[in-house]
Homo-oligomer: A and B are copies of this chain.
C-alpha cells in the first residue's frame, strides 16, 4: 500500500487545529473546561433504564432501516406537537446521531461543485462536509435580512443549512429570516435544512421550527444534547418524501440502523420532562452573560449552551494563553467562522467551574 492510496477528498480535511489544542490541554490537573459540546448532567435515569431494559429483553438485532415503528410514531407526534410540522411516521427516519443524518444528506444531494449556503458562524461539521464533498461554501451572517439574499450566488445551490439555536452562537433564527430562506429554497430548488438539535435549550421561548413555516423543510432532531446521551448515537429527521427516501436507501448501505436498544430509550426520552434541566441552563446562561457584560463583545446567547465572544488578538493565541495561564479550555472561533478573533464558551458546566471561568476570562481579556 502506498500513501497515494488516499482519495483526493482527504486533502480537504484538516483537524490539526483541534488536535493541537487537545495536546496542549492534555497535562492540565484541574482545568476549567468550557470547551465541551455536551450537557454536564447525566442522562436521566428513566431513559438509561429504558435502554438497559431493551437490552435485557433481547433488543439486540437489526431493526428496520428507518427505525422501529414505535419511535417513528413518537417522533412524528413530537414533530407535530412541539414543532408544528405536519408529518407522520412514514416520513420519519431514525439514524445514529445528527452527524450521520448530515452525512446521508450530503451523500444524497451533493455533487462536486454544488453550492451550500451556511448561516455563519456555522457548526464545524457542516463546513467539514462541504469541503469534503467538494462543494462550494457560501456564508451568510446570522443577522441577515431578506434583502441580503438577493446578492448571494444561486447557481447550483443545493442546500441551505442552519442550526437554531445556533452552535456556536446560541442565536435563534427569526420568523422573517426563515421565511426569506424558504423563499430562496423555492426560487432555487434548494433544500432548506433546519438543524434543531439544541431546540430544547430555548430560554426565552423564541424558537420557531422552520417546518412550521415551510413544510418542505428537512428537520434534524437529536437526542444527544437534549437528554445528555451523546455517546448513544440517536437522531431523527423528517422532510420531503424524495429526500427521506434517498437518505433511507443510503442508510441501508452505511449506518444500517440506529442502535436497537437505544431506539427504545428514545421512546422513553420523548416522554421525559426536561424542564428542570433547561431552567438550570437558563440560570447558567444568565450567569455567564452577566459575568462577561462589559468585559467583551458577544452574540446575545438565546439558546443552546454556548456564548460566542470576541477576544483581544487572535483566537489561537488567546486559547493557548488561556490554557497556559489559567488552565482554561475554550474553543477557537475560526473553526466556525472565517474571522479569527472569537471563541466559543460552553456553559454546560458546574456553577463553580463557571465562576472560575468567568474570573479567568475577565483577567485574560484585560
Contact check, B1 vs A60: say whether CB atoms are below 8 A apart: no
What are 28 A-B pairs with beta-carbon distances under 8 A? A3-B242, A4-B189, A5-B158, A5-B242, A6-B109, A6-B243, A6-B246, A7-B109, A13-B250, A13-B253, A42-B60, A43-B58, A48-B58, A51-B261, A52-B55, A52-B56, A62-B231, A96-B96, A96-B259, A103-B253, A107-B132, A125-B253, A128-B253, A129-B253, A231-B260, A233-B233, A233-B257, A259-B262
The residues of A with any CB-CB pair to B shorter than 8 Å are: 1-10, 13, 15, 38, 42-43, 48-49, 51-52, 55-56, 58-63, 96-97, 99-100, 103, 107-111, 114, 125, 128-129, 132, 158, 185, 189-192, 216, 228-233, 240, 242-243, 246, 249-250, 252-262
B contact residues around A129 at 8 Å (CB): 253
Considering the chains assembled together, what is the distance between the CA atoms of A228 and B59 in angstroms? 11
Residue of B nearest to A14 (CB): B249
B contact residues around A114 at 8 Å (CB): 7
Q: How far is the CB of A263 from chain B (nearest CB, A)?
A: 9
Contact check, B189 vs A5: say whether CB atoms are below 8 A apart: yes
Partner of A232, one of B100, B231, B259: B259
Considering the chains assembled together, what is the distance between the CA atoms of A1 and B160 in angstroms? 11
Contact check, B59 vs A185: say whether CB atoms are below 8 A apart: no
Considering the chains assembled together, what is the distance between the CA atoms of A69 and B305 in angstroms? 29
B contact residues around A6 at 8 Å (CB): 108-109, 242-243, 246
Considering the chains assembled together, what is the distance between the CA atoms of A212 and B253 in angstroms? 29
Considering the chains assembled together, what is the distance between the CA atoms of A111 and B7 in angstroms? 5
Contact check, B243 vs A60: say whether CB atoms are below 8 A apart: no
Residue of B nearest to A218 (CB): B1
What 7 pairs between A and B have smallest CB-CB spacing? A231-B260, A2-B189, A52-B52, A43-B60, A259-B259, A103-B254, A62-B230
Q: How far is the CB of A284 from chain B (nearest CB, A)?
A: 18
Contact check, B7 vs A108: say whether CB atoms are below 8 A apart: yes
Q: How far is the CB of A227 from chain B (nearest CB, A)?
A: 9
Partner of A99, one of B191, B243, B253: B253
B contact residues around A254 at 8 Å (CB): 99-100, 103
B contact residues around A97 at 8 Å (CB): 255-256
Q: How far is the CB of A111 from chain B (nearest CB, A)?
A: 5
Beyond A51-B55, A55-B55, A233-B255, 4 additional pairs, beta carbon < 8 A: A1-B189, A10-B108, A51-B261, A60-B229
B contact residues around A58 at 8 Å (CB): 42-43, 48
B contact residues around A103 at 8 Å (CB): 253-254
Q: How far is the CB of A241 from chain B (nearest CB, A)?
A: 10
Considering the chains assembled together, what is the distance between the CA atoms of A190 and B5 in angstroms? 7
Residue of B nearest to A251 (CB): B99
Q: How far is the CB of A72 from chain B (nearest CB, A)?
A: 16
Considering the chains assembled together, what is the distance between the CA atoms of A107 and B15 in angstroms? 16
Contact check, A243 vs B109: say whether CB atoms are below 8 A apart: no
Considering the chains assembled together, what is the distance between the CA atoms of A41 and B15 in angstroms? 42
Considering the chains assembled together, what is the distance between the CA atoms of A257 and B4 in angstroms? 27
Contact check, A99 vs B255: say whether CB atoms are below 8 A apart: yes
B contact residues around A258 at 8 Å (CB): 233
Residue of B nearest to A258 (CB): B233
Q: How far is the CB of A47 from chain B (nearest CB, A)?
A: 8
Considering the chains assembled together, what is the distance between the CA atoms of A42 and B60 in angstroms? 8
